[in-house]
Structure 1
Amino acid sequence: MAKVTISLDSDLAIEVMLLAGTRSPQDAVELIVRDYLQRGHRTEARTGDLTDPDRLADRRPAPEDGR
């Protein structure tokens, strides 16, 4: 896998390290990005994607006839 170098503000890097519980800023950022991507995939699995025909269907019940 190719590696990418990204510059971050030191305060941001420390905050990410504290949230991730790591001692390495690179490990912390990698863990948080992986978690972010996994959450996105879980959300897509629950809600469907744009190609899902039922996603935008009107699911409201039809109004009852007042007879």
Structure 2
Amino acid sequence: MAKVTISLDSDLAIEVMLLSGTRNPQDAVELIVRDYLARGRRTEARTGNAADQDRLTDRRPAVDEG
């Protein structure tokens, strides 16, 4: 897998390290990004994706106004 180098503000790196419970900023960012991606996949699995037209239809019953 290819590696990418990213510069972060030190405060942001420390906060990410605290959230992930790691002592290495590289490991911390990798864990946070992997968790973010996994969460997105779980959400798509539960709700469908934008190509799923069934969820875009109006399922509410029509209200008769009189």
Same structural fold, with TM-score higher than 0.5 when normalized by the shorter chain? yes
Gaps of 5+ in 1: none
The total of aligned residue pairs comes to 66
Report Cα offsets for 1:9-40 as digits up to 9, x if no partner.
Answer: 11110010000000000000000000000111
- Residue of structure 1 in register with 2:8 after alignment: 8
**Length-normalised TM-score, structure 2:** 0.89
Matches of 1:39 and 1:16 in 2, distance apart? 17
Gaps of 5+ in 2: none
Matches of 2:46 and 2:26 in 1, distance apart? 31
Matches of 2:55 and 2:47 in 1, distance apart? 7
User: More helix by proportion, 1 or 2?
Assistant: 2
Ranges of 4+ aligned residues in structure 1 off by more than 2 Å: 61-64
**Length-normalised TM-score, structure 1:** 0.88
- Residue of structure 1 in register with 2:44 after alignment: 44
Q: Which letter maps to 1:59?
A: R
